[in-house]
Amino acid sequence: MFRWQGEDLILELKVIPKSTIDRLEVDADQLKLKIRAMPIDGKANQYLKKYLGNLFSVPQTRVMVEKGQNKTHKSVRIIQPGYLPPWVQQC
């Protein structure tokens, strides 16, 4: 689901493009991110960076897709998040 690497947060998530709404779902064993963007020409990854940047209060340049550029299962690094949602704080 997620882990810390120094001051960076690493998210392991399943991205579901072409959704009707943007929503991050936290299940017991995985994170699912539903986004409205289409998976064409990297648009979904750009949208993912913008969404997660807003969620963690960081610029898009501090959100990096490390694994799964062209797949639905991704590993994403948030460099020094400025805000931690409750589901991160509880763990």
Strand partners, 11: 2, 76
Host domain of residue 59: 2-89
| Residue 12 Cα distances to 5, 9, 26, 32, 41, angstroms | 13, 10, 11, 9, 22
DSSP 8-state class, residue 60: G
Residue 59 sits in a domain whose CATH number is 3.30.1200.10
The dihedral of CA 71, 74, 77, 82: what is its sign?
Answer: positive
Gap between the Cα atoms of 9 and 70, Å rounded? 21
0.75 exceeded by pTM: yes
The tens place of each residue's pLDDT in the chain, 91 residues long, gives: 999 999 999 999 999 999 999 999 998 788 999 999 999 999 999 999 999 999 999 999 999 999 999 999 999 999 999 999 988 876 6
Gap between the Cα atoms of 58 and 44, Å rounded? 18
Domain count, the chain: 1
